[in-house]
A and B are shown apart, each in its own frame.
Chain A
Amino acid sequence: MDSWYFALDGLVDRVIRPVLIVLSVFIAGLIVTGIITRSLLGEPLFGVEEVVLLSVMWLYMLGAVMAAKERSHLRADFLPIIIKSKSVLAALQLLASIISLLMAAAFVVWSFDLFQWSVSRQQSTPVFAVPWAVSQTAPFVCSVLMMVYVFRDVLRDARLLATGARV
């Protein structure tokens, strides 16, 4: 199982990292280009907002996947301060991971619903007529990846509890 996750991590680093870098530069650059053409050249760049909004959801969702990979989603980490027993902490951590997995599954269901709705309605953007599905696919794809990583956390936490290792 671990080797499978190492392969996934490698894939995420090779694919998602470059995409995040390109998207970040692209979005900021495009907005500034829009300002320059509007303010200095007197010609507003048509459709900037549309292209930016089509891209930005991928930036948000892939960023959330990176956080799931690094296990850096915000959490209240004050339990280790009030609970000293390592086994109790490990059990609570496993419980938190199982609840997270259930919620990640709910996220997959909701985002699949949006994806389905998007494909069936075939709405497109007003300027370039790009289907909104391009952007609305992002929550579904990324929620699946997030769930895969949360499942990894459940396995790791279960192993920690079973082996009595340090939390």
Chain B
Amino acid sequence: MGALLAILAVIVLMIIGVPVVFAFAAMTLVLTISYGIDVSLVMTTGFWSINSIILLALPLFIMTGYLMQAGGMAARLIAFVETLVGNSRSGLGSSMVVACGVFGAISGTASAAVASIGTIMTEPMERHGYPRQYTASLLGVSSLLGLLIPPSITMILYAVVTRQSVAACFLATIGPGLLLIIVLCVANAIRSRRFSAPADQQQQKRSVALSAKAAWHALPALLVPFIILGGIYGGVFTPTEAAAVAVVYAIPVGMFVYRELTLKRLADSLVAAATTTGVIMVILMFSFVASRVFTIEQIPQQLTEVLLSTFESKLLILLMVNLFLIVLGMIMDDVSVVAIASPLLLPVMVNIGVDPIHFAAIVGTSVVIGCNSPPMAPILFLSCRVCDVNVAGVVQPALWFILVAALPVMLITTFWPPLALFLPQALGY
């Protein structure tokens, strides 16, 4: 009862506009009062949970995202991607999808992709016939590829709260992430026929030489995922060390190679990254406390019993979990959903024979839908701000992309485990 009241408190407080961090503090307060938990447990649990070397990968990847954005790497990446896929009729839309995927492989966050790619691509897409509302919706859904293509902040978080391997969780979402890129490009090709200008009027013909030149310019940025993932899977460094290497790499590249990262921009980026980190970490601290109380009170076990006694079929339970994650994502941000729902639902999943690494991919693909579904839809709203459009006009195209792209990918990921498990198993996780 206390757990239900606590989750209800979070939802109600968030709906009336209380910042997530204080809504989570309220949840902690309700839990401590309901279950008579000693106050001293709150901060000691919270402190030692976030004071973790593994979790440090999260702020360092956020820092990398900000530095790459300020250092001009995003612009080079987009220019390169555009030379590859920007020549078709629906090319600019596909460029945006692929650029979000590539940028996700670097920054690990959806908001960084929205800010960088949205700022650069909104105007050119509008000039070529794409309505801004359409651009904002495609950007919102595509940017969440950052949650699936490693290094993903969401997967680091999932790995920490469920005590799984970060490297294995990174691998679990590559398949669903690539599938989502393909499906989004196809969906864009179908939908954008209504308004995008034909290719020959749209852009000058791209040559191989132009692509090669753009690739050369983008090379320092394109090396980042290779350094990060190569380092992790080559056994050279841990995910946290990889994130630190990415930060240290991004600074000289932005300053001396692209010459866009001035000392002022460096300082501003570091402060902005620390601010974003601070927001996430205090939320996490409270959600770790809540998670601990849930464990002490055996809430996940009780939830497992209720679900197993209510639904006999594994398929129904999986669908219910999908639905629960989506609804939670409609109200909360991705960090909160992963921090709260993953430890709560993992025992249920394990009980019905779902691999925890597979569940990582299920959570990731479900959050993609939740983050773009009103009422909260944090990423979609951010996308609207960046593209400077009203939310009302964006909901319809966003729902279309969710229905034809994100939802099928989530269902395939949920009911076809090899999509998520093939790579982790092939690499011995």
Contact = CB atoms under 8 A, between A and B. Distances in A.
Interface of A: 17, 20-21, 23-25, 27-29, 31-32, 34-35, 39, 49, 52-53, 56-57, 59-67, 70, 72-79, 81-82, 92-93, 95-96, 99-100, 103-104, 106-107, 109-111, 113-114, 117, 135-136, 139, 150
Given A25-B270, A76-B375, A81-B391, A109 B39 contact: yes
A4 to B, nearest CB: 23
B307 to A, nearest CB: 27
Contacts, number: 182
Given A28-B244, A74-B333, A99 B18 contact: yes
27 contacts: A24-B63, A28-B244, A28-B248, A32-B241, A32-B244, A34-B241, A39-B236, A39-B237, A53-B51, A59-B277, A64-B279, A64-B282, A66-B274, A66-B275, A67-B276, A74-B279, A75-B18, A76-B375, A76-B376, A77-B17, A78-B375, A81-B392, A99-B18, A99-B26, A100-B22, A103-B29, A113-B40
In the complex, which range does the number of interface residues on chain B fall in? 35 or more
Interface stretch (B53-61, B141-149, B353-361): B53-61
Nearest to A70: B275
Given A81-B392, A114-B47, 10 more contacts: A25-B270, A35-B245, A59-B278, A64-B278, A67-B278, A75-B18, A96-B17, A103-B26, A104-B22, A113-B43
Given A99-B26, A100-B22, A139-B43, A74 B378 contact: yes
Contacts of A62: 274, 278
B270 A114 contact: no
Given A24-B273, A28-B247, A96 B18 contact: yes
A135 B51 contact: yes
A93 B381 CA distance: 19
B427 interface: no
B232 interface: no
A27 B244 contact: yes
A127 B383 CA distance: 47
Interface of B: prevailing SS: helix
B342 interface: no
Nearest to A54: B51
A64 B52 CA distance: 18
Interface stretch (B8-16, B92-100, B200-208, B412-420): B8-16
Interface centre among A34, A65, A81 (most CB of B within 10 A): A81
